[in-house]
Amino acid sequence: MKPVRNFTHTSTLKTDFVSLDKSIQSMDFTHILTMSDPNAATECLIQSLSLEISNHTVLKRTANCKRILKPWITPGLLRCMRNRDSLHKKHKQSPDNEVLKATYTRYRNFCIKILKKVKRQYDTNEISKAGRNTKLLWDTVKRVTNTTKITHPPTELLSSSETPSQSVNDVNAFFVNIGKHLAESIRNTNDNCPYSPPDPTNSVGSFVLLETNPEEIASTIRSLKANAAVGWDGISTTFLKRYSSLLTPILCHIFNLCFVNGTFPSSLKKAIIHPIFKGGDRSSFTNYRPIAVLPAISKILERLINSRLVSYLESNNLLSTNQFGFRKNKSTSDAALQLLSGIVDKLNQRKKCLTLFIDLAKAFDTVPIPCLLTKLERWGVRGTQLQLLKSYLSDRKQVVKIDNYLSDELPISYGVPQGSVLGPTLFLVFINELCNLQLSYSNITSFADDTAITFYADSWNNLQATAQSGFHHVFTWLISHSLTLNNSKTKLITFSLNSTTQPSTPITLKAHTCQINSSSCNCPTIESTDTTKYLGITLDKHLNFKAHITHLTSRVRKLIYLFKTLRRIANTSVIRTVYLAMCQSVLSYCITSWGGAAKTILKPLEVAQRAILKVATFRPMLFPTFDLYQKCKVLTVRQLFILYTVLQQHTKTPLTQTKSSSRRNYEICKVPFTRFTFTKRFLYYLGPFLYNKLNKTIPIHLSSYGICKKQITLFLTNKNYDETELLLPSLS
């Protein structure tokens, strides 16, 4: 009897959109338009759509032996591979047969050569087919260069209890309660806000939610990501985009009901949590990051509310100027520049300076909702609008999904919703007061919950006292707002020009929870360190950025293999696009902060950049540097620094039509006085200096941002290494 082969299968969900189109077009939604309860209307809409999607979606199973794992392998190549394997088997059975060995070796090499040639041709054709379809192009590039991230389901968590069902419930309970336990361990109750935000100006009125319309909803739907994960209702963003014209009037009616009644539909407040492994022991809950997936319809409603709330906060200047997170026209680069400019300015004034980098544990998950609502009310969010946000934050639920197991629902009582559109803005409202704390001799910079506080004084002893007093004020504020300081990740750095000007004994700060506030108490201690990472930049105590540039050099060199693979199958245009996206984006990130480093420190990074360009374009190792950049039409690392430094200065320099440039020493920007050559490496000094210098050669002051960028890029392209370095001030 012939043995039965045991097939393994791969299952995929397939939706028949042809039949679904007919079904959706024939649906009658008029009964929803007559409803006055947003909860009932939303529930009815979701049930109707989910049912239709379910009826036209089937689970297709394909045996692994029939799956096309490598589409470039033809039937002829399969026969070739089978023949090769047959010869290999015969050779293993008769290893002393020289004729058989020579036959197998010759045929194997022939087979390998053919397979490589066919695969290369297939990849080349796929990249050509992608054309201007950016998504398809990047999917192809990732596939052929083996850079697609493969995430494995956290099945190890399913064995944490006796049964997988109990295990997934335990995981859900852990994620739901982690923020609650942290908050309640600080304060037993948090119904009142002990601190009030700064009083707004008298001109600030009340927040008003204006009605929406189908055109705004259609525009919002178009802005959604097409490949976003699907929520519990099974309604994807692709589905909403496909039937946008049909659904926008119904959604408009439901959303306006929400605005009028102050109710956020319960159907949109349920999240599916996918645990994503971070590192360490795969069986430990703490080593997983919970990624929340909300219904797509919820994202539309949240965007409508968020756009109105952000407009209100920004127009009334309620958000701190020291806060750079989740705000339009503000970025991590701006936050890093403000931090470094403050440090450099104080060092230039011969001040002693240290920066405390505060790390909060699960900051978004520990926000007490009553306190947040109190802050919103003080800022003019009242009445129905406040009731809507209260409804949005309360009675939320979540489930955890691992593999095919789904946990029971659990309520969430703390924190702003993760994975939401509105959550980050609400968090900014909650933490805004921290950015505006009145601390003596200090500067505060924040990006969401990543806060850096710079203290300065005339001596290290005075600085120790000033920093301890300021830190105690901050720590007290954190405790009163149920935020937990992560002592192990909170760092401080004492900045100085060289090692001889560092404090004789390391400065430490105490997170006092006792009443005596003594340096000899057992309260947690914040130790000083030589380097730390803030917003992706590695800062060191002398601000020479050697550690950061070493890290960047390693990252850039890891891309050489990618270009070595890509160069044989892609044209010059595609390779340049990949270089700009994957290499130059890494080089230019916050480059205005660290790009003024000394030549000897910056050189290894520029060598790594040239290595990628030579590999990508088949150039020999000793190919002339200037010709390499000319042919590749890219800028060096130093030239990128000069470009973005001048552009940064251009955006903040007021436009003047005064034609005083005929004066020999006319300067558009005032260059600050510097006591040390150290200061001349930072945008604090280099911004005005380079802007004045380049404006004398190429008139950029009256140009728009785009034209200015083109002019500077063209100017720098024609400069070799030495000429580029001469643009910088003399550091002798």
Distance CA 218, CA 213 (A): 9
| Count of helices and strands (H, E) across the chain | 27, 17
Residue scoring higher pLDDT (102 or 201): 102
Which pairs with CB-CB distance under 8 Å and at least 24 residues apart come from 120-126? 120/568, 120/569, 121/72, 122/71, 122/72, 123/72, 123/569, 124/569, 124/570
Q: Which of 691, 674, 684 is nearest to 730 (CA)?
A: 674
Angle at 695 between CA 693 and CA 696, to 5 degrees: 70
Cβ proximity of 275 and 400 under 8 Å: yes
193: how many CB neighbours lie within 10 A of its CB? 20
Mean pLDDT of 178-207: 62
- Residue 456 β-bridge partners: 353
pLDDT beyond 90 at 203: no
pLDDT beyond 70 at 394: yes
Mean pLDDT of 392-405: 92
Q: Which residue has the tokens 């999904």?
A: 401
Query: Where does 567-619 have alpha helices with state H?
Result: 572-579, 585-588, 591-594, 599-616
Distance CA 248, CA 213 (A): 8
Instruction: Count CA atoms within 13 Å of residue 3 on its CB side.
Output: 3
Instruction: Count CA atoms within 13 Å of residue 232 on its CB side.
Output: 22
Q: Strands (DSSP E) along 26-155, which ranges?
A: 57-63
- Give the H or E element holding residue 560: helix 560-566
568: its two tokens? 């044989």
Cβ proximity of 25 and 17 under 8 Å: no
- 89-102 pLDDT, tens per residue? 999 999 899 999 99
Q: Which residue has the tokens 């090769």?
A: 84
725: how many CB neighbours lie within 10 A of its CB? 11
pLDDT of residue 187: 61
Residues 6+ apart with CB under 8 A from 19: 56
Burial class of residue 79, CB neighbours in 10 A (0-12, 13-18, 19+): exposed
Residue 375, SS3?
A: helix
Residue 116's alpha-carbon distances to 120, 145, 700, in angstroms, are 6, 14, 51
22: its two tokens? 């007919």
CA Rg value for the chain: 31
Distance CA 688, CA 682 (A): 11
pLDDT of residue 131: 80
pLDDT of residue 206: 86
- Residue 446 β-bridge partners: 323, 451
pLDDT of residue 542: 93
Residue 136 pLDDT class (50, 70, 90 cuts): confident
Residue 611, SS3?
A: helix
Mean pLDDT of 225-231: 86
- 321-347 pLDDT, tens per residue? 999 999 998 999 999 999 999 999 999
Distance CA 352, CA 455 (A): 8
361: its two tokens? 């544990």
Angle at 554 between CA 550 and CA 560, to 5 degrees: 145
How much of the chain exceeds pLDDT 70, in percent?
Answer: 92
pLDDT of residue 622: 92
pLDDT of residue 2: 40
Cβ proximity of 359 and 490 under 8 Å: yes
Q: What are phi and psi of 194, to 5 degrees?
A: -70, -25
Residues 6+ apart with CB under 8 A from 258: 38, 264, 265, 301, 388
How much of the chain exceeds pLDDT 90, in percent?
Answer: 65
pLDDT beyond 60 at 412: yes
Cβ proximity of 553 and 611 under 8 Å: no
Q: Which residue has the tokens 């300021």?
A: 470
Q: Which of 471, 476, 431, 429 is nearest to 453 (CA)?
A: 471
672: its two tokens? 């600050």
Lowest mean pLDDT among 10-24, 122-136, 584-598, 613-627: 10-24
pLDDT of residue 195: 46
665: its two tokens? 């020493």
Cβ proximity of 594 and 545 under 8 Å: yes
pLDDT beyond 80 at 626: yes
233: its two tokens? 């209702």
Mean pLDDT of 403-423: 90
Cβ proximity of 168 and 345 under 8 Å: no
How far, rounded to the nearest angstrom, does the alpha carbon of residue 523 sit from its chain's CA centroid? Answer: 34
DSSP category for residue 323: B
Q: What are phi and psi of 41, to 5 degrees?
A: -65, -45
Q: What are phi and psi of 67, to 5 degrees?
A: -70, 140
Out of 409-413, 563-567, 607-611, the most confident range is 607-611
- 673-728 pLDDT, tens per residue? 888 888 899 998 999 999 999 988 888 888 899 999 999 999 999 999 999 999 99
Residue 386's alpha-carbon distances to 205, 300, 365, 380, 474, in angstroms, are 14, 19, 21, 9, 28
pLDDT of residue 11: 61
Residue 455, SS3?
A: strand
Q: Taking phi first (over 0 means left), then psi (-120 to 50 degrees means alpha), and beta for anything else, what does residue 543 get? A: left
Distance CA 510, CA 568 (A): 58
Distance CA 608, CA 554 (A): 8
Residue 104, SS3?
A: helix
- 61-80 pLDDT, tens per residue? 666 555 666 888 888 888 99
- Residue 12 β-bridge partners: 60
pTM: 0.89
Q: Average model confidence (pLDDT) for the chain?
A: 88
pLDDT beyond 90 at 403: no
- Cα-Cα-Cα-Cα torsion 160, 165, 166, 168, nearest 10 degrees, comes to 60
Cβ proximity of 673 and 680 under 8 Å: no
DSSP category for residue 422: S
628: its two tokens? 């390499």
pLDDT of residue 65: 59
Cβ proximity of 38 and 254 under 8 Å: yes
Residues 6+ apart with CB under 8 A from 181: none
Query: Where does 67-97 have alpha helices with state H?
Result: 75-93
656: how many CB neighbours lie within 10 A of its CB? 10
Cβ proximity of 536 and 589 under 8 Å: yes
> Maximum distance among all alpha carbons in the chain?
102
